[in-house]
Amino acid sequence: MMPDDDPPDELDLDAAEFVLGTLPPVERMRFEMRLRNDRLAQARMAWWQRRLAPLIGLIEPVEPPAALLERIERSIQRQGRPARGKVFVPLHRRIWNNLSLWRGLAFGGVLLAVAFGGLLLVRPLPQGSGAAYIAILDDPGGNPMWLVSADPASGAVSIDPVGRMSDGELVPELWLIPAGSPVPVSLGVLNPDARMAMALPAEHMAGIGGGAMLAVSLEPAGGSPTGRPTGPVVQQGRIVPYQP
Amino acid sequence: MRTADLMVSKDADDSPELLNDLLVQVGRRDAEAFRKLYAATAPRLLGAALRIVRRRELAEDTLHDAFLRVWWHADHYDPAKGAAIGWMITILRNSAINHLRKAGRERVVASLDADEDGDLLERIDAVPGVSAADRLSLVHCLGQLEPLHRRCLVMAFADGWSHEELAERLGQPLGTVKSWIRRSLARLRTCLDA
């Protein structure tokens, strides 16, 4: 199930602002995620792409130097097709005791590839502290499943389901693994069908910077009975600063 | 007239299909189609990149990256879902925004000043891949907007400006600019759908 909590008009105006280029960074990323599976979002983006494309007629053409096409063709020959997915990560419970492994699994630099509808956007995430933090939680196949964004100033955390989870008895529970701490902190049970908002307690807010991770494990209905993950870890992602 | 524009000018206006077909062929790894697509679109796309990133070298890097993505991802392009030119503009603009974020944006004076706005609508040229019908209806519907709201949309598209940059440039509160954009887009949609 995809989230469907936005009224159609909001979705359409988000698509319009996405094409126009004014959608703010976190909303932009949320929309990109939505484009992966949501045919309505794809259709509205295509509509606005076509409708706004004539504006390029306002822009003076600039003749590229002859060498540029050769450079592009050389790059095509040199580089292979960029990988769409990420490394397969064998998830195992012992991973909880191995933070260096967690770190090693992180996005590998500051490039974050978000593939959707045939477009691949490679979006650099600036280093250093920013106004917002985000994390994209992937499944072992590299498919994004959750987009989490946090505003450290207010403690507001927003969680969007962006993939399809298989149905089952177990429920997804979100865990924060602060940098330098092997102890996961439960942030609660997630709703796979709708965007969720939560307030992160101040004592955890300090733990989200500096390489912290988020992970989702599958737990019995109501959440882990022990306060620690008891089921398999099915998605994970590193928290990174994000700013325009 | 530039040679690259000339190459497709016979078929230029009103023929999105030509570019759509080329992009589909590029998806089958047709290097010759790739060169034709490049010749038809690179000058406008380089112009668009330059407007956003402002520096020639950065604009050329932007175009380089965008065409690499076009090559590798053209096989995902579906002409039934939209025109090639719109698909390519989105890739180009994303590439430009990435380069800007890496390089840092220079503060520059607006290139579309108020006095330019009068003839703004007459200055929307025919571009290969954009149908004449789409161009004329956009010109008509932009003409229905308040001039200042229209400028907001046009500057956002052409210069890649954020809400904050538009607010600063126009000397308006941020909330006002955000609501102008949202309202203008809703009006534009109603008019374009009519």
pLDDT category of residue B85 using cuts at 50, 70 and 90:
very high
Residues of A whose CB is below 8 A from B86: 19, 46, 49-50, 52-53
What is the token pair recorded at A214? 């988020």
Q: What pLDDT was estimated at residue B106? A: 56
Q: What is the mean pLDDT of residues B58-75?
A: 93
What is the token pair recorded at A74? 């050389």
Between residues A10 and B98, the one the model is more confident about = A10
Residues of B whose CB is below 8 A from A54: 124, 127, 130, 134-135, 138-139
Min mean pLDDT across A88-97, A138-147, B9-18, B119-128 is at A88-97
Q: What pLDDT was estimated at residue A96? A: 31
For residue A178, the enclosing domain spans 93-242
* Cβ contact, residue pair B127, A56, below 8 Å: yes
Closest CA to B58 of B106, B100, B13: B100
Residue B104 predicted with pLDDT over 70? no
In a domain, A230, yes or no: yes
Q: What's the rounded Cα separation, in Å, for the pair B77 and B59?
A: 24
Average pLDDT over chain B reads 84
In a domain, A155, yes or no: yes
Tally C-beta pairs within 8 A across A and B.
Answer: 175
Q: What is the mean pLDDT of residues B18-46?
A: 95
Residue A43 predicted with pLDDT over 50? yes
Distance of CA A177 to CAs A128, A152, A183, B5, B103, Å?
Answer: 20, 16, 6, 55, 32
Q: What pLDDT was estimated at residue A241? A: 74
| Domains with residue ranges and CATH for chain B | 3-103 (1.10.1740.10), 115-193 (1.10.10.10)
Between residues A134 and A6, the one the model is more confident about = A134
In a domain, A72, yes or no: no
* Cβ contact, residue pair B35, A117, below 8 Å: no
Q: What pLDDT was estimated at residue A197? A: 85
* Cβ contact, residue pair A59, B44, below 8 Å: yes
* Cβ contact, residue pair A51, B71, below 8 Å: no
Which tens digits make up the pLDDT trace of A118-156? 222 323 333 333 347 788 888 777 777 888 888 777 778
Closest CA to A173 of A188, A159, A193, A184: A188
Closest CA to B123 of B111, B108, B107: B111
Q: What pLDDT was estimated at residue B119? A: 65
Q: What pLDDT was estimated at residue B8? A: 43
Q: What pLDDT was estimated at residue A177? A: 85
* Cβ contact, residue pair A72, B68, below 8 Å: yes
Amino acid, single-letter form, for residue B55? R
Query: What is the number of domains present in chain A?
Result: 1
Q: What pLDDT was estimated at residue A209? A: 73
* Cβ contact, residue pair A81, B72, below 8 Å: yes
- The alpha carbon of residue A132 is apart from the nearest alpha carbon of chain B, in Å, by 15
Exposure string of A16-52, with b = 16+ CB inside 10 Å and e = fewer, is bbbbbbbbebbebbbbbbbbbbbeebbebbbbbbbbb
Whether the predicted interface score ipTM is above 0.90? no
Amino acid, single-letter form, for residue A10? E
CATH of the domain at A104: 2.60.40
Residues of A whose CB is below 8 A from B163: 22, 24
With a pLDDT cut of 90, the percent of chain A lying above it is 17
Residues of A whose CB is below 8 A from B97: 21
Which tens digits make up the pLDDT trace of A75-96? 988 875 544 332 222 222 233 3
Min mean pLDDT across A39-43, B109-113, B139-143 is at B109-113
Q: What pLDDT was estimated at residue B76? A: 84
Which tens digits make up the pLDDT trace of A210-240? 778 888 988 888 888 888 888 778 888 888 7
- For B4, the closest of A21, A63, A81 (CB atoms) is A63
Shortest CA distance from B70: residue in chain A = A119
**How many residues does the structure list for chain A?**
244
- For A61, the closest of B2, B83, B94 (CB atoms) is B2
Could you identify the residue written with the tokens 């994000």? Answer: A242
**HEC readout, chain A:** CCCCCCCHHHHHHHHHHHHHCCCCHHHHHHHHHHHHHCHHHHHHHHHHHHHHHHHHHHCCCCCCCHHHHHHHHHHHHHCCCCCCCCCCCCCCHHHHHCHHHHHHHCCCCCEEEEEECCEEEEEECCCCCCCEEEEEEECCCCCEEEEEEEECCCCEEEEEECCCCCCCCCEEEEEEECCCCCCCEEEEECCCCCCEEEECCHHHHHHHCCCCEEEEEEECCCCCCCCCCCCCEEEEEEEEEECC
Q: What pLDDT was estimated at residue A116? A: 28
In a domain, A148, yes or no: yes
* Cβ contact, residue pair A17, B181, below 8 Å: yes
- The alpha carbon of residue B84 is apart from the nearest alpha carbon of chain A, in Å, by 9
* Cβ contact, residue pair A76, B138, below 8 Å: no
Residue A57 predicted with pLDDT over 70? yes
pLDDT category of residue B179 using cuts at 50, 70 and 90:
very high
What is the token pair recorded at B57? 């070298």
